Amino acid sequence: MAASAIDIERNPKFQQLVAARKSLGWTLSIVMLAIYFGFILLVAFNKDLGNFLGWPLYSGAVATVGIVIGLFVIVSAFVLTGIYVVKANKRYDELTRQIVEESR
Amino acid sequence: MTRIKTLVSGAALAALASPAFADAIAGGAQKQATNWSAIIMFGIFVVLTLGITYWAAKRTRSAAQFYTAGGGITGFQNGLAIAGDYMSAASFLGISGLVYLSGFDGLIYSVGWLVGWPIVTFLIAEPLRNLGKFTFADVASFRFKQAPIRVMAACGTLVTVAFYLIAQMVGAGSLIKLLFGLDYAYAVVIVGVLMIVYVTFGGMVATTWVQIIKACLLLAGATFMAIMVLATFGFSPEALFAKAVEVHPKHLAIMQPGTLINSPLSAISLGLALMFGTAGLPHILMRFFTVADAKAARKSVFYATGFIGYFYILTFIIGFGAIVLVSTNPEFLNADLIAKGKSGIEAIKGGNNMAAIDLAGAVGGNIFLGFISAVAFATILAVVSGLTLAGASAISHDLYATVIKRGQANEQDEIRVSKIATIVLGVIAVVLGIVFEKQNVAFMVGLAFSIAASCNFPVLLMSMMWRGMTTRGAVYGGFLGLMSALVGVIFSPAVWEATLGNPKGSALFQISNPALFSMSIAFLGIYIVSKLDRSKRAQRDREGFDAQYVRSQTGIGASGASAH
Instruction: Give the CATH number of the domain where residue B273 resides.
Output: 1.20.1730.10
Q: How far is A103 from chain B (nearest CA, A)?
A: 9
pLDDT at B320: 95
Q: Which residues contact A21 (CB under 8 A, 6 or more apart)?
A: A88, A92, B553
Q: Which residues contact B182 (CB under 8 A, 6 or more apart)?
A: B34, B39, B176, B190
Dist. CA A69–CA A58, nearest whole Å: 14
- Portion of chain A with pLDDT greater than 70, in percent: 97
Q: Of B6, B8, B122, which to mutate for an interface test with A (greatest number of A Cβ within 10 Å)?
A: B122
pLDDT at B419: 93
pLDDT, tens digit, 9 for 90 and up, residues B233-277: 999 999 999 999 999 998 888 998 887 666 788 878 888 888 899
**Residues of the domain holding B117:** 2-443
pLDDT at B31: 58
pLDDT band at B442 (very low <50, low <70, confident <90, very high): low
B374 touches B41 (CB < 8 A): yes
pLDDT, tens digit, 9 for 90 and up, residues B374-398: 888 888 888 899 999 999 999 999 9
Q: Does residue B365 sit at the A interface (CB-CB below 8 Å)? A: no
The DSSP output letter for B120 is I
Dist. CA B525–CA B396, nearest whole Å: 28
Dist. CA B89–CA B104, nearest whole Å: 20
Q: Does residue B108 sit at the A interface (CB-CB below 8 Å)? A: yes
- For residue A99, the chain B residues in CB contact (below 8 A) are 554, 556
Number of domains in chain A: 1
Dist. CA B493–CA B508, nearest whole Å: 8
B523 falls within a domain: no
Asked whether the beta carbons of residue B554 and residue A54 sit closer than 8 angstroms, the reply is no
> Comparing B330 with B508, which gets the higher pLDDT?
B330
* CA-based R_g, chain B, Å: 23
Mean pLDDT of chain B, nearest integer: 86
Task: Classify residue B248 as exposed, middle or buried by CB count within 10 Å of its CB (0-12, 13-18, 19+).
Answer: buried
pTM: 0.89
Angle, CA B346 vertex, CA B90 and CA B9 arms, to 5°: 55
Asked whether the beta carbons of residue A5 and residue B301 sit closer than 8 angstroms, the reply is no
**Residues of the domain holding A93:** 5-102
- Portion of chain B with pLDDT greater than 70, in percent: 92
B104 falls within a domain: yes
Q: Does residue A52 sit at the B interface (CB-CB below 8 Å)? A: no
Q: What share of chain A is helix, strand, coil (3-state, %, to 5)?
A: 75, 0, 20
pLDDT at B560: 63
pLDDT above 70 (res A73):
yes
Number of domains in chain B: 1
